[in-house]
A = this chain, B = another copy of it.
Amino acid sequence: MYKLLFLLVVAGLPQAHAQTVHSPSNKLTLNFRLSAAGEPTYQLQYGTKTVVKPSRLGVLLQGQPSLDAGFTIAQIDSSRHDDTWQPVWGEVKSIRNHYQELAVTLTQAASQGRRLVLRFRLYDDGLGFRYEFPEQPGLTYFTVQNERTEFNLPADHQAFWIPGDYDSNEYTYSTTRLSAVNSANIEAIQLKSAPQRVQTPLMLKSDDGLYVNIHEAALVNYPAMMLNVNPQTFGLSSQLVPDAVGNKAYLQTPEHTPWRTIVVSDKAADVLASKLILNLNEPTKLTETSWIKPQKFVGVWWEMHVNKASWNYSDASNIKLAGTDWNALKPNGHHGANTANVKRYIDFAAKYGLQSVLVEGWNVGWEDWFGNWKEEVFDFVTPYPDFAVAELQQYAAAKGVKLMMHHETSSSVTNYERRQDEAYRFMKAHDYESVKTGYVGRIIPRGEHHDGQWMVNHYNRTAQKTAESRLMVDMHEAVRPTGLHRTYPNWLASEAARGNEFNAWSSGNPPEHETILPFTRLMGGPMDYTPGIFQIKLEDWNPERNKGKQVHTTLAKQLALYVTMYSPLQMAADLPEAYEKHLDAFRFIQDVPVDWDDTRILLAEPGDYITTARKAKGKDEWYLGSITDENARPQTVKLDFLTPGQLYEAIIYADAKGASWDKNPMAYQIRKQKVTSKSVLKLQLAAGGGAAVSFKPENR
């Protein structure tokens, strides 16, 4: 690592009003400027192209003068930073953190000389900046009323957006010009939205060929940032998620906001390859991480989604957690999490080398868990009468498989927090190593939102608490990630977007969905998307209740998702009996790693297609995934990422001729081929299709 420091103390010098810095390779230029009224602004250029026009910065406080004007520059610190670090797990083995930093210390003469620091980090692939509130006499405790961060875009870009719901990010993406952003007619899950409010990561594409992604990094002790779109000016302005009384954040100096991030390139692939958000997060404090295990798992889960089984043990409709005699309930006869069924999954995982088995619906409370804004729903330690904790613990141990815990909170977070310690002790006592948490429904404390400061603190505290107990965690219905898996590598994944499950009980995810997610949701971190559905048409499971329901991809595309959507935690989401029918295709799920030495984004266009190749951790094996939207498309892939001179056997899992997501989704073909780094692979992706390829070195 080297660090060059240019310190320019301007006090005493003629008053400075502006500062320009360049990214390490001069790709990007940042201009900071103070207006005549002392308002901080910034501007970002990509070569000669404008990424962000002059845009205001500032923070509005409650009951105190705001920190957005009346400033003078007290000090400017400029420095260069370049080092390389190794993630505990990830898409690449090591990550270079190379940026030009500009830290501008501002003072407000009219308000006790209060100080605010604007810290910019300019990378070749984008910009991060944040507000820092130093400890100072005039500012100790303060309440953020709003943030006036602007991203004034130069033109009416194409945008890939979801509505600015404070409580859910489980939407399909709309692709429109900025001027046409309007969520008024979108069927909302828990929408508290203004029609021009959208969520981040927001993916944008300009007519002059720029790909721009706006998000945030290291969301800690602060609400999530959403963006208000001005359809006339194409200006975006930050909208922080409010708490129960309308405030945004309660802070105490010294403190800082998350980083606001802008990733930019003229190549879409560079956006996917960017490590800017991870770089802006704090390194982990964990020194011993051998207990953190990227892994694949099956689970008693999809069979509930396809109406073959239920989470609930009985069909009683009025249950109180305290005082119910669970043994006296009449079983409904199709409870998924029963001991025999779980053993079946354990057997399957053991037989095919998957590490874990998730079991949902194991614990009491599912009879009326949803929709009642009820506080005492689950206790996280009491199994249903037909789920034998100790017996399954022994059975799984004998088979070398781990059970994965499930903590659905029904968003009664106060209840969960009261019981978390005991729940984790229960997990440790029964050999569980990981937990999937869930936050379905309206938050308790009532009036709080999934994406507000209080819940952000809950998710982060949960990541920390699980780490203290050496437990891995996967959060569903949480705020979307911001790279905190660098700091908490036991936080393997989150859902925080519209997952594969929506195909089971809604209009589904359109075929383009998975070509957008890596450009949006996955910018912040791994998603537990639950790929690997083989039985595409769901009527086969339950003709009556699944009428017309299907997954909106081909089977081959389901395989490709294991590569195109990175996660250290990948579910093989379908039922064992679905896989047993297609063991040749399942072979790819068995083989594909969840941790990588290297990643190459070979072809990418948001909303259209993605082709990604990755090198297995510590092995000269490569895996490739290629997906398309609703359009069939040929993809020509140069294999120049392979080790030169090495012969590989490629196993190609492809859409069969005549395959398509809607008409013939399960038609796949598997072929083997010898290849080298000089080979070119021609893939023919069906409509809504994809291809998955493994490359293993051949001994000669």
Which residues from chain A sit less than 8 Å from chain B, CB to CB?
135, 140-141, 143, 243-245, 247, 250, 252-253, 317-318, 320, 368, 372-375, 414, 417-418, 420-422, 445-448, 454, 457
Contacts and interface: CB of A to CB of B under 8 A. Distances in A.
24 contacts: A135-B318, A140-B317, A140-B318, A143-B373, A244-B446, A245-B446, A245-B447, A247-B446, A250-B372, A250-B374, A250-B375, A252-B318, A375-B457, A418-B418, A418-B420, A421-B421, A421-B422, A445-B445, A445-B446, A445-B447, A445-B448, A446-B447, A446-B454, A447-B447
A323 to B, nearest CB: 11
A328 to B, nearest CB: 15
Contacts of A422: 421
A143 B143 CA distance: 32
> Per DSSP, are chain A's interface residues mostly helix, strand or loop, or mixed?
loop
A504 to B, nearest CB: 26
Given A253-B318, A414-B445, 19 more contacts: A135-B318, A141-B372, A143-B373, A243-B446, A244-B446, A245-B446, A247-B446, A250-B373, A250-B375, A252-B318, A252-B320, A252-B372, A252-B374, A414-B414, A417-B417, A418-B418, A445-B445, A445-B447, A445-B448
A582 to B, nearest CB: 44
Count this chain's copies in the assembly.
2
Contacts of A253: 318
A248 to B, nearest CB: 12
A252 B247 CA distance: 31
A414 B373 CA distance: 18
Contacts of A135: 318
A244 B421 contact: no
A515 B538 CA distance: 75
B447 A244 contact: yes
A318 B142 CA distance: 12
Contacts of A447: 243-245, 445-447
A317 to B, nearest CB: 7
Q: Which residue of A318, A373, A417 has the most chain B CB atoms within 10 A of its CB atom?
A: A318
Contacts of A373: 143, 250
Q: Which residue of A244, A247, A374, A422 has the most chain B CB atoms within 10 A of its CB atom?
A: A244
A421 to B, nearest CB: 6
Nearest to A465: B418
Contacts of A375: 250, 457
A484 to B, nearest CB: 17
Given A135-B318, A445-B244, A374 B141 contact: yes
A435 to B, nearest CB: 17
Which 9 pairs from chain A and chain B are nearest by CB? A445-B445, A244-B447, A244-B244, A141-B372, A245-B447, A140-B318, A447-B447, A244-B446, A417-B418
Nearest to A457: B375
A320 B140 CA distance: 11
A83 to B, nearest CB: 25
Nearest to A255: B320
Nearest to A139: B318
A215 to B, nearest CB: 26
A373 B62 CA distance: 13
Contacts of A446: 243-245, 247, 445, 447, 454
Contacts of A421: 421-422
A247 B420 CA distance: 27
A167 to B, nearest CB: 13
Q: Which residue of A135, A253, A373 has the most chain B CB atoms within 10 A of its CB atom?
A: A373
Q: Which residue of A135, A252, A414, A446 has the most chain B CB atoms within 10 A of its CB atom?
A: A446
Contacts of A244: 244-245, 445-447
A243 B375 CA distance: 14
Contacts of A372: 141, 250, 252
Contacts of A374: 141, 250, 252
A6 to B, nearest CB: 31
A393 B191 CA distance: 55
A326 to B, nearest CB: 17
A461 B574 CA distance: 42
A419 to B, nearest CB: 9
Nearest to A253: B318
Contacts of A140: 317-318, 368
A343 B86 CA distance: 55
Contacts of A250: 372-375
A67 B74 CA distance: 65
A468 to B, nearest CB: 13
A21 to B, nearest CB: 32
A368 B253 CA distance: 13
Contacts of A368: 140-141
